[in-house]
Each structure stands twice: as structure tokens, then as C-alpha cells.
Amino acid sequence: MPDYAYVRQTDGFTCGPTVALVAVAALDPDYGATVTDAAAEQHRIHAEANRLWPRKLGTTPWGVAGVISAHTAALGVRYGWRLFRGDLAPAIAAVECDWPVAMLIGAAIPRHWVLIVGHTDGELHCFNPARGVETTIPVADVAARRLEPLGFPRAFALVLPRHVTS
């Protein structure tokens, strides 16, 4: 994964664009090298992802998937989203193959995006754009709704690689 210590969401609505920026930079180092103003890039991504969705409501799962896919299509991979129903196996398999996975979390409603960037010994390594840091969460805590170290207890959706083209 790239050094994302310099990336932090700029406001309460850009966690999704920040996660997309870090995911794309991880998958395309050439893109990452061109980002000289992370805040401006977050806002550009936010506009790209939310053409019809009000920006004050954050970024939709299909918006995050679309932004990442726009950059990964050349690699033969499309990202898609799905509701989280307790199964992290596809996300773990993806990150173990160096494909980051975005996870939408919240309490009663979805409110925040984090990026799963790794998996080691039953723990997920998650980039939290609110603080610009990586936090480790036990895999079992995701299904048990104990994600408070990430800011909210519950996972709602995953954005992960789903289709490899030849």
C-alpha cells in the first residue's frame, strides 16, 4: 500500500472520496505520483462520484465503486458494491491479493467510509480517512458490530473487485 499518512479527509463529507483516492493510488502508483494536492483531488473525486447524489449526503457505494473502477478497468478489474451480510471472505481474499476494499460503516445509518488495506492473523488493517491513520480490527469484530475504533459499530456495505476481464 502507498504511504497515505499525508491523506486525511477535508470535511465531514469526503471520507468516500478519500478512500477512493487512497485505493486508486495503491493500485496505480502513476496516478498517486500525480496527486500533489490531496484536498483538491478529494473534491474532484467527490464531484465525479456524486453527479446525481447530494454531496452533503456523502458518497454512495456505487459512486465509490465507479471512481475506483474508472482507474482499474485498464488493469482488467471492475469494482462493485454489495451489502454486508456478515461474510468477509471476499474482502479478505481481495486484500490478500493487494486489492483494497472500501467498507461503509455507521450506527443506525451508514455514515463513514474506511479502506481495508490488509489482513494478517485474523485482523483487518483499515485506513481511516477521518484521522489519516491505519487501525487494526479483529475480523470477528466486524460481524459482531464492534467497530468503534473506526468511529462507528456496524458495517453496511463493501466495495470490492468483482469482475476480472481478460
Q: What is the pLDDT of residues 109-149, one digit of tens each?
A: 999 999 999 999 999 999 999 999 999 999 999 999 999 99
Residue with cell 491513520: 133
Q: What is the 3-state secondary structure (H, E, C) of the chain?
A: CCCCCCCCCCCCCCHHHHHHHHHHHHHCHHHHHHCCCHHHHHHHHHHHHCCCCCHHHCCCHHHHHHHHHHHHHHHCEEEEEEECCCCCHHHHHHHHCCCCEEEEEECCCEEEEEEEEEEECCEEEEEECCCCEEEEEEHHHHHCCCCHHHCCCEEEEEEEEEEECC
Ordered domains of the chain (ranges, CATH): 15-164 (3.90.70.10)
- CA–CA separation, 144 and 136 (whole Å): 15
Q: How far is CA 162 from the centre of its chain?
A: 15
Residues counted in the chain = 166
Average pLDDT over residues 2-15: 81
Q: What is the pLDDT of residues 16-63, one digit of tens each?
A: 999 999 999 999 888 988 998 999 999 999 999 988 888 888 999 999
What pLDDT score was predicted for residue 127?
96
